[in-house]
Amino acid sequence: MATTFAPRIFSGIQPSGGITLGNYLGALKRFVEKQDEGIETIYCMVDMHAITVWQDPETLRHQTREGAAAFIAAGIDPARSILFNQSQVAAHAQLAWIFNCVARMGWMSRMTQWKDKTAGKNAEAASLGLFAYPALMAADIMAYHATMVPVGEDQKQHLELTRDIAIKFNNDYGVEYFPVVEPLIEGVATRVMSLRDGTKKMSKSDPSDQSRINLTDDADTIAGKIRKAKTDAAPLPDTAGALRDRPEARNLVSIYAALAGHTVDQVIADFAGAQFGSFKPALADLAVAKLSPITTEMNRLMKDPAEIDRILGHGADRAEAISRPIVDRVYDITGMIRSRRG
Ligand code: AQP
């Protein structure tokens, strides 16, 4: 009989920069919705992923706390969801090593994120960690036997790899130990694009701060970035289909829809024929109305970093209690002797 796994959600965000509107709409906002649906939810600041590219230690610490503050300010309740930073729970690194030995070099070298992050650069100089990143991500998920992972569109391929690693592990060892995970890629903003280039993903690490809205931006900064966002000269069309070849316009309309909780069709019905001169201020007002309360709460939480560390530590204890026995069993399955435990 096939093993059944209880529904459990795991997801994370890298503290490799400030949290962007893309991270918020593609991930964080949906993390809150999943928590509020009553499913068991485990959320993580994945600091070990962040150091696959260089991070200044003090900045990393600050961004990890700031990311945690963003989770809480956006509605994650640390009493209901488990909220912690990855490096505090050893199971992630331990299982990642096992998965490094299950995953194949060919699988990893086909990952588009690896190719994108090394494109035009000397791949030989990239860290081994950046190459192995998806195996650590698989370990993050499987250390909890998580069955569902809410992510943005850009993480779809890594989720498929997680499935491949889990299936290969199960086949190699003749067990039904790891679940086959489902990516949850839902909503109208699964891929928020750069404000400067509608063909590029909005990203924390984009060299241009004008390309993104950060959750730490104040109202004037948000309005300024939206005012200067790249667009074309035509007014908004009267059908969503007509946005297909207008990436910048489509991006702004999708952001509006996601923030308002509307469909793209509803936004088009409201703004058909409008020039960007009137649509952009409406979008800026909406973005400020939705994001300012989060920014204000983040700023308040960041005044007490010790309290954030306490919350992360408590979350790590709860995460450890779930992942420890799961990874211990992996050691048994793979033939590692653990005689110290009695
Ligand atoms: N532009 C985006 N639109 C929708 N979802 C997005 N996500 C990221 N960018 C967008 C989703 O946010 C979650 C956390 O992402 P991450 O921190 O693990 O790393 P990332 O996907 O590589 O995000 P960034 O902002 O581009 O970081 P850097 O610049 O450091 O690489 C994921 O669920 C992701 O899908």
Catalytic site residues? Answer: 117, 201, 204
Alpha carbon of 167 to ligand 1 centroid (Å): 26
| CB 201 less than 6 A from any atom of ligand 1 | yes
pLDDT tens digit sequence for 294-315: 999 999 999 999 999 999 999 9
Q: Which residue, chain included where needed, has tokens 């199971």? A: 91
Cα-to-centroid distance, 240 and ligand 1 (Å): 25
CA of 16 to the centre of ligand 1 (A): 10
202 lines ligand 1 (CB under 6 A): yes
Ligand 1 site, residue 52, Cβ cutoff 6 A: no
What is each CA distance from 99 to 91, 116, 130, 323, in whole angstroms?
A: 12, 23, 15, 15
CA angle 287, 84, 162 (to 5 degrees): 90
CA distances 207 to 50, 70, 194, 210, 320, Å, are 16, 22, 11, 9, 36
Residue appearing with tokens 């949290």: 19
Please state, rounded to an integer, the average pLDDT across all residues of the chain.
Answer: 96
Task: Tell me the per-residue pLDDT of 241-286, one tens digit each, with 9 for 90 and over.
Answer: 999 999 999 999 999 999 999 999 999 999 999 999 999 999 999 9
Q: What is the pLDDT of residue 342?
A: 54
What the block records as the tokens of 234 is 């035509």
Nearest atom (ligand 1) to Cα of 23: 12
How far apart are alpha carbons 323 and 325 in whole angstroms?
6
Tokens of 138: 């698989």
Please name which of 165, 113, 104 lies closest in space to residue 140, comparing C-alpha atoms: 165
What's the pLDDT score for residue 121? 85
For a substitution probing ligand 1, which of 155, 190, 195, 213 has the most ligand atoms within 8 Å of its CB? Answer: 155
pLDDT at 188: 87
Using the predicted structure, report yes or no on whether residue 341 has a pLDDT greater than 70. no
Closest CA to 34 of 67, 68, 82: 82
Predicted model pTM: 0.95
Indicate which atom in ligand 1 lies nearest the CA of residue 205. Answer: 29
pLDDT per residue as tens digits for the range 43-101: 999 999 999 999 999 999 999 999 999 999 999 999 999 999 999 999 999 999 999 99
125-166 residue pLDDT tens? 999 999 999 999 999 999 999 999 999 999 999 999 999 999
Half-sphere exposure of 10 (CA within 13 A, CB side): 26
192 lines ligand 1 (CB under 6 A): yes
State which ligand 1 atom lies nearest to the alpha carbon of 14: 17
pLDDT (tens digit, 9 = 90+) per residue, 73-86? 999 999 999 999 99
Spatial contact of 164 and 107, defined as CB atoms under 8 Å apart:
yes
